[in-house]
Chain A
Amino acid sequence: MAEPLEAAYKARLPLLEGLCSRLETEVHELLGGLHHIDRICFRVKSPKSFTEKALDPENQPPYSAPLREVEDQVAGRVIVFFLSDMKPIVDQVRTAFTVVERTKRRPARDEEFGYESEHLICIIPPHVKPATWNTHDEMPATIEIQVRTIFMHAYAEPQHDLGYKASRELSRQAKRELAWIAASSWGADQAFDRLLHSLESED
């Protein structure tokens, strides 16, 4: 099952890459007037990563049409300096994209620290589709845009990499180390935002 799916995904890669490049240009232009943007980058999901996600036995319910249903085949990230920069980014994204889902990812319990980010699922607008996009039957209808601060990112990326490398469940010590990094990142974001507002109010 994995091989035909991966082959089908690979066959569409040039179109996905075309979309990815146009999206990145579009979002750069769209957010060009806003301050405190550290970086904007888009990527196409690798065939291996796509197949693993599509066939993950933990998917409930399982994907019946993964080429259509996996929504982060093309995804982008906007990384900003301060917490209060996130809302203007989301508002501006809405001026060009129809958002069908908005999720603020954060730990389930208030006393926990962990991954934080804002995820937007957007319908792909007409003008960023490569010319032959609509002639293929199973192209995705949506893309994902993540908005996060530098500190959210500073926690999320290494944490993801470590989790990916770990072949077994993390030890209690490793979990506590990660929680401490997440808490420190959260604290740094709060402190930076307080500092920003206090300096702005002095002006």
Chain B
Amino acid sequence: MELFRLHAYSVVPQRTAEEQIPVVGGAIRVNADLRSIMESNLQAADFPRQPTVDFNVDETTRTNEVRDLVMAFAFGDGSPARAAALRLAERLAGAMDLRSSACLFVPVAYRAGTKRRVVLWIFPRDEAFQLHTGGPEGPTIELLKDIFSQTSRHRKSALFEGRELRTDFLQGWVLDLQAKSVNVNLDVASFWITRFLDCVPSMHDEVGSRLLAKAVRKAFERTDVPEQRQQLHAAAMAVRHSPNRRITLSTFANRYLDPDIRPMFLSGLPNDETRHALFTFDRQTFDSVLQFRVFELESGVFVSSPLDQIGESVKVHTGATTELTCQGIVRNEFLRARHG
């Protein structure tokens, strides 16, 4: 597709700010270097392997402010496109609070026939050193402050494409490394997808949690190697206790499973889009599908049991306290490090 429109705005977080700082910027003349840089960024984003999101549209009018602005930027003439880009930049400022750094917001539009693609980028403000050599006083270092990073893990992007139809531009792909990282709270992680884009992950939370449980169970049933079964079990327990509830099936495999068992787990999923779909882990759904109950004893011992064994080899006695006894013949024994 041909890049035909690019705007850039400096955006300062405004959500909780007392002083209002307007966004500044506008249309940028695209030269060969800039075109090439944006193409490299697009390739690096690897959108086909990123999660899809759906616009949260009004069910009676099928409208969503961001979708409408994105389409105006894609299909509008100069003035409506400028107004749409500026409004998107202002909306972004309003969605960002002081936990986010100032950024460069870059909406880019592409075309091929009647189809359009819009990619929204934010590149966070950064600092960098620049070494100067050959001066009369020898080498010096200059601190560059007003720059924006193309490679920061806090950069974000979203891609929407289609024709000017009511059935198009309903769904897009997002690059949001922060949303999938381990140590970030849900509110921070949701700023890009929820507050700014007004989207929801295409894979809803209960569905993702159900698919994860089914995939674990299917992999468990497909192997009779005790170490692999043990690993699947440990992975299921680890994800239940992980503080990071935003996950994809692919990140689950990479984070909790050894390479030898990953292909078996992933091959049970319906398609690539499902592997990369982002969702918030729902423990209740996961447990109900996996059919396991997990007990944590005062001693720190965890007992996990298939549901059909509760009342059989695993007996739970409820009185003033709930006590558990488990009896059976040990078939295998493992010594494993706990997954994080």
Contact = CB atoms under 8 A, between A and B. Distances in A.
A102 interface: yes
Given A65-B163, A126-B52, A127-B207, A100 B170 contact: yes
Most B Cβ at <10 Å: residue of A71, A129, A140: A129
Given A65-B165, A96-B206, A99-B59, A134 B200 contact: no
Contacts of B202: 98, 123, 125-126
A198 interface: no
A102 B171 contact: no
B170 A126 contact: no
Contact of A98 (B54, B168, B272): B54
A125 B200 CA distance: 12
A63 B168 CA distance: 13
B332 interface: no
Interface string A145-166: 0000000000000000000000
Given A65-B165, A96-B206, A126-B203, A131 B271 contact: yes
A2 interface: no
Question: How big is chain B's contact interface, by range?
Answer: 20 to 34
Contacts of A140: 167
A117 to B, nearest CB: 16
Contacts of B15: none
Contacts of A203: none
B274 A127 contact: yes
Given A68-B165, A123-B170, A134-B273, 17 more contacts: A95-B207, A96-B207, A97-B204, A100-B59, A100-B170, A101-B62, A102-B59, A123-B171, A125-B207, A126-B202, A127-B207, A127-B269, A129-B270, A134-B272, A140-B167, A141-B167, A141-B168
Interface of A: 22, 29, 64-65, 68-69, 71, 95-102, 123, 125-131, 133-134, 140-142
3 closest pairs, A vs B, by CB?
Answer: A98-B54, A126-B273, A102-B59
Interface of B: 52, 54-57, 59-60, 62, 163, 165-168, 170-171, 200, 202-204, 206-207, 210-211, 269-274, 277
28 contacts: A22-B270, A29-B210, A64-B163, A64-B165, A65-B165, A68-B165, A68-B167, A71-B167, A97-B204, A98-B54, A98-B202, A98-B204, A100-B55, A101-B57, A101-B59, A123-B54, A125-B204, A125-B207, A126-B202, A126-B270, A127-B207, A127-B211, A127-B269, A127-B270, A129-B271, A130-B271, A140-B167, A142-B167
